[in-house]
């Protein structure tokens, strides 16, 4: 069986209200050589039922499920293992993509480019999020259209200091071999699972292209910890876990670049930046915890 050009990977957990639009935008792409790999992470709503109905209607969908809830890190690794495409695209099920996304990527995949970054836009959905985003730049995760000469250049432009504009996984098309040849996987965590993976992938790439096409819509809902859980003990527990994982993932990046054959001045600069970021994150965590325990 011929491998497809694109594997679109979708981790799902309790997204019954948003799956229809997200999946229809994927399945109605104007370029057709793709598969959709979906893993349901033991949803407790009707997500799996909806996914099953979609898979019955379209054989491009390969649906799998976790027998117990494992978290997004484990689920992303499972998605990668099931993918057969030359290129990998991650799409979160509560967001959606433009119908011409793959069509706008195909010319660059034919040139065998390692990473193609496309533009994205923040879409506030609820009344509260519309108010929150009112004075913010909805294109704040976009970046300059250009050819990037190296992974080091990409990290310097997108992942360091005040110019930090490194978007999430959903703004990139990755050659699958970047993961497999460099043994890059996600840690088995429930938050920040892509934080260390993105710079690893960038530094492993030899060709990176940024295109102008706005292909991804990042939807903002009222889903902060304080919105979904009013119990202070539970909020503190979850915030503590997030802070712990952030530190672990930051240290994972540091260990990774220390073991790479990279210029010493770049290593020193990036490690300094990462340590400063860790301190800043910890300060924000302490402020938040202190406000909760008053």
Last residue of a domain, one of 223, 250, 281: 223
Do 252 and 165 lie in a common domain? Answer: no
Q: How confident is the model at residue 232, as a pLDDT?
A: 84
Segment (H or E) for 151: helix 151-158
Q: Which domain holds residue 40?
A: 6-223
| In a shared domain, residues 204 and 235 | no
Give me the chain's average pLDDT, please. Answer: 93
- Is residue 116 within 8 Å of residue 201, measured between CB atoms? no
Residue 1 counted as domain residue: no
Same structural domain, 148 and 216? yes
- Last residue within a domain, chosen from 202, 223, 244: 223
- Closest among 181, 186, 188 to 197, alpha carbons compared: 186
Residue 136 and residue 40 share a domain: yes
Residue with tokens 């992942």: 159
β-pair partners for 115 = 174, 208
The band of 226, judged by pLDDT with boundaries at 50, 70 and 90, is very low
Do 168 and 43 sit in the same domain of this protein?
yes
Count of domains observed in the chain: 2
Q: Where are the alpha helices (DSSP H) in 182-231?
A: 197-204, 225-228
* Residue 243 and residue 191 share a domain: no
pLDDT(2) > 50: yes
What are residue 36's DSSP bridge partners? 8, 61
If we measure between CA atoms, which residue out of 165, 179, 193 comes closest to residue 92?
193
Identify the domain boundary among 176, 207, 223.
223
122-177 pLDDT, tens digit per residue, is 999 988 899 989 999 999 889 999 999 999 999 999 988 655 667 689 999 999 99
Band (pLDDT 50/70/90 cuts) for residue 281 is: very high
pLDDT (tens digit per residue) in 282-291 = 999 999 999 8
Residues 17 and 101 in one domain: yes
CATH classification at residue 103: 3.90.550.10
Per DSSP, the three-state class of 165 is: coil
Q: Where are the beta strands (DSSP E) in 66-203?
A: 87-90, 96-97, 115-124, 147-148, 172-175
The verdict on 275 and 186 lying in the same domain is: no
Same domain, 218 and 230: no
Same domain, 129 and 230: no
Q: Apex CA 247: angle with CA 119 and CA 14, to 5°?
A: 60
Q: Identify whether residues 177 and 251 lie together within a single domain.
A: no
Do 36 and 171 lie in one domain? The reply is yes
């Amino acid at each position: 069986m011929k491998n497809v050009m694109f594997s679109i990977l979708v981790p799902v957990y309790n997204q019954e209200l948003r799956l229809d639009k997200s999946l229809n935008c994927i399945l109605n792409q104007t370029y057709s050589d793709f598969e959709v790999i979906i893993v349901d992470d033991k949803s407790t709503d009707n997500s799996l039922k909806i996914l099953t109905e979609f898979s019955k209607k379209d054989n491009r969908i390969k649906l799998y499920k976790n027998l117990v809830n494992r978290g997004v890190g484990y689920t992303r690794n499972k998605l990668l293992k099931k993918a057969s495409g030359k290129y990998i695209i991650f799409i979160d099920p509560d967001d959606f993509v433009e119908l011409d996304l793959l069509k706008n990527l195909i010319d660059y995949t034919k040139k065998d480019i390692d990473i193609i970054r496309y533009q994205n836009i923040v879409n506030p959905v609820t009344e509260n999020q519309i108010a929150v985003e009112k004075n913010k730049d909805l294109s704040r995760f976009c970046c300059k259209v250009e050819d990037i000469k190296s992974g080091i250049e990409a990290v310097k432009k997108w992942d360091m200091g005040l110019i930090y504009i490194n978007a999430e996984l959903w703004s990139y098309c990755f050659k699958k071999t970047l993961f497999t040849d460099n043994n890059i996987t996600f840690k088995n965590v429930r938050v920040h699972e892509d934080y260390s993976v993105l710079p690893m992938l960038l530094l492993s790439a030899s060709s990176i292209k940024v295109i102008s096409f706005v292909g991804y819509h990042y939807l903002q809902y009222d889903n902060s910890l304080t919105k979904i859980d009013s119990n202070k003990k539970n909020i503190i527990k979850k915030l503590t876990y997030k802070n712990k994982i952030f530190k672990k993932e930051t240290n994972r990046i540091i260990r990774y670049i220390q073991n790479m054959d990279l210029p010493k001045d770049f290593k020193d600069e990036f490690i300094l930046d990462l340590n400063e970021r860790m301190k800043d994150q910890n300060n924000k965590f302490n402020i938040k915890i202190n406000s909760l325990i008053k």
